[in-house]
Structure 1
Amino acid sequence: MRIPVDKLNAMAIFVRVVERGSFSAVARELQTSQPTISKVLRALESELGGKLIARSTRQLSLTDEGQRYYNECRNILAAVDAAELSFHTGRESIAGHLRIGSSVSFGRLQIAPRLATFLRQHPGLTIDLQLSDQNQDLISEGLDVTFRIGELNDSGLIARHLGFTHRVTVAAPAYLQQHGQPHTPQDLSAHNCLQFNLLSSQNLWLYEKEGRRHEVRIKGNAQSNNSEAIREMVLAGMGIALSPVWLFSEDLKAGRVTAILSDYVAQSLPIHAVSPANRRQSARVRAFVDYMSQALQAAPELKPIR
């Protein structure tokens, strides 16, 4: 039985409204108006003969029938995707809209500068880069893929390991001149250490030297959930930070900060590209993740400092 294209479109819009939890968010995503999205869903409900979404002034919630229909629509759309992929084997179009998530600093410094080259390679694409230093919910925020640094806690996701963020212990020359330079991790306990507080091990800094593990509980008078704020604190001479090499690569070259504890290898953090487990990865997602994987592996600012 052939499903009309407009029914598939209505199903796709319904699924996106459920995932985003907002008519207006889907309207912005599809570059149309909220009344148009509402009209499509009302027509779908009229054809089905029942309510899919219980609307209120505060939130959208699915009716029991709507929840069952949502599950079936998701399966149908995945099957259509798979059928098109099978038909276009080896030449699936890399086009459409790609919504990408990342932390603020990594997205600004490592993803945004690389988008121009990727879009020149795939002119049929449009990209929406969403940056947040909180772990983004891929479904509710409508993300196709997000980049996460650190250990993953959510096993209900498809994750591809892209490499590591190597870290370096840094301080401004002015701070070191005033407070002295630590020579071992244990020396850090006597210094003002600046914490990036989104890591589970924010006040436990781990190092390794000659196969031996060193750990130290640090303390300080300032912390932040944004790594670029930590960088500004370091540049202001406030204290010592353990941060990604790429965050301070230009500052290290220019002498604005000094790498310390160079004899010790700081614990690295894994980089993953993460996608929803219940959604087949499109060609555009696979192409972008492949592109970023190659770019990050070749990036000198992501290499460990020797």
Structure 2
Amino acid sequence: MDKSDVTFERMRTFVRVAERGSLSAVARELGLGQSTVTRHLRELEEAVGVPLLSRTTRRVTMTDEGSRYYANSVQILRLVEQAGDEARGARGAPAGTIRISCTAAFGVLHLSRLIFAFQDRHPDIGIDLSLTDERVDLIREGVDVALRLGPLTDSSMKLRVLGQSQRLMVAAPDYLAAHGTPAVAQDLSAHEGVRMSNVAGSDVLALRGPDGEQHTVSFGGRLRVDHGLAARAAFVAGRGLGPTHHWLVDDLLADGRLVRILREYSLPPVPLSLLIVPERAGIARVRLLLDFLAEEIGGIPGIVTPRR
């Protein structure tokens, strides 16, 4: 084989295997047989004349030559995709697929609706939406853009702050009728709380009182959940009271299934941000989505966007 056998298909297969570290995972992702993925890699290594990957029974890793080849391959494939975008853009609307990751409850209740509207505006753009509360590795999972709630530490990604998610204290009327309504922050310690097991420090609440004073209150309860929709259901079922994002319960507050408590107290807001894989930020369809979300996100209850 010679250098003419270095095809984009083989290069893309190599890049995804290098990122995921698993031939079987890439075969499922690309809709190929594992034997085809193996063949692509073998033919690419034969074409470039050096081993690019080291295979063990548990994992596939890059050789030193493979690491250098991977970095160049990512740049080449990005330029090829951008060239295709520009060519299509000269004739018509942007096309292709955008892969998005988002926290599950926010995605179900709000982002999905925005995605529908985005695709109505740009019918040639496909969306692959993954909903998970895990902080996925964007590169490894092949994600272009991730919506994240909370502080971020991944400095290798481009960051775009969309706004702040306001939080409040809620409970079901039946729960309050049975257990009483807290009048001050300290009353929370005597109540049954619904806590998030995947949020560090959920056994303590920090609230700012009407006088501006900070109140730190212990917060317990028999029920802990790791999903926002489960917390929402628990509140409605009267399993306890607790803090929640406004966007998670806006409809329940509107129809009276939940009520806001301790209105004079405020909880710290949570940042809502976009993480973008740097190599994908310049692609036309990704830029369109980023601008669309920045424009529309402020319409979600409890999301306060930066002033422009």
Flag the 1:185–1:47 CA change in 2: closer, same or farther, 3 A.
same
Structure-1-length-normalised TM-score:
0.87
- Which whole-Å CA distance do the structure 1 matches of 2:27 and 2:126 have between them? 16
Cα distance in 2, alignment partners of residues 6 and 50 from structure 1: 13
The secondary structure found in structure 2 opposite 1:140 is: helix
Cα pair distance change 1:170/1:255, threshold 3 Å: same
Q: Distance in 2 between matches of 1:5 and 1:119?
A: 37
Distance between the aligned counterparts of 1:210 and 1:61, measured in 2? 57
1:205 maps to 2:205: yes
Aligned mates of 1:220, 1:96 — CA distance in 2: 47
Q: Deviations over 1:43-101 (max 9, x none)?
A: 11111122212223322111222122112222333455566778899999632121111
| 1:64-79 to 2 correspondences below 5 Å | 64-79=64-79
Q: Are residues 1:38 and 2:38 paired? A: yes
Greater shift in the superposed pair: 85-94 or 274-283: 85-94
Please give the per-residue CA displacement for 1:220-264, whole angstroms capped at 9, x wherever unaligned.
111111111111221121111101111111111111111101112
Name whichever of 109-118 and 19-28 sits farther off. Answer: 19-28
TM-score (norm 2): 0.87
For 2:121 and 2:35, the matched residues in 1 are separated by 35
SS of alignment partner, residue 238 of structure 1: coil
Q: Matched residues in 1 for 2:136 and 2:271: separation?
A: 17
Q: Does 1:294 align with 2:295?
A: yes
Alignment of 1:172-251 (within 5 A): 172-208=172-208, 209-251=210-252
SS at match of 1:263: coil
| Percentage of pairs with the same residue | 36
Change (3 A) 1:123 1:85: closer
Residues 1:280 and 1:303: Cα distance change in structure 2 (over 3 Å): closer
Name 1:265's counterpart in structure 2. 266
The root-mean-square deviation of aligned C-alpha atoms, in Å, is 2.8
Specify every segment of 5 or more residues in structure 2 that has no aligned partner in the other structure, as ranges: none
Aligned to 1:171: 171
Q: Contact 2:167–2:302 (CA<8 Å) still a contact in 1?
A: no
Alpha-carbon distance between aligned partners in 1 of 2:280 and 2:119, rounded to the nearest angstrom: 23
Relative to structure 1, is the Cα distance of residues 184 and 273 closer, same or farther in structure 2, using a 3 angstrom cutoff?
same
Contact conserved, 1:55 with 1:61, CA < 8 A, in 2?
A: yes
Question: Could you list the per-position Cα deviations for residues 189-238 of structure 1 after superposition, in whole angstroms to 9, with x for gaps in the alignment?
Answer: 11111111222332232222353333322111111111111112211211
Deviations 1:152-195 (CA, angstroms, capped at 9, x unpaired)? 13233211100121112111111111111112222211111111
Structure 1 segment 79-94 matched on structure 2, within 5 A: 79-80=79-80, 94=94
Query: Following the alignment from structure 1 to structure 2, what is the Cα–Cα distance between the partners of residues 225 and 267?
Result: 20
Q: Is the 8 A contact 2:95 2:124 kept in 1?
A: yes
How many aligned positions are there? 302
Contact 2:182 2:261 in 1 (8 A): yes
Report matched runs for 1:155-170 at 5 Å. Answer: 155-170=155-170
Shift in CA distance, 197/8, structure 1 to aligned 2, threshold 3 Å: same
Moved more, 54-63 or 183-192: 54-63
Judged with a 3 Å threshold, the aligned counterparts in structure 2 of structure 1 residues 140 and 234 are, in CA distance, closer, same or farther, namely same
SS in 2 for 1:192: coil
Which residue does the alignment assign to 1:47?
Answer: 47
Shift of the alpha carbon at 1:303?
Answer: 6.2
Give the 3 Å change call, closer, same or farther, for CA 40–93 of structure 1 in structure 2: farther
CA contact 1:93–1:283 (8 Å) conserved in 2: no
Q: Distance in 1 between matches of 2:79 and 2:116?
A: 32
Letter in structure 2 aligned against 1:16: R
Q: Which moved more, 1:65-74 or 1:158-167?
A: 65-74
Q: Which residue of 2 aligns with 1:25?
A: 25
Q: Distance in 2 between matches of 1:73 and 1:204?
A: 48
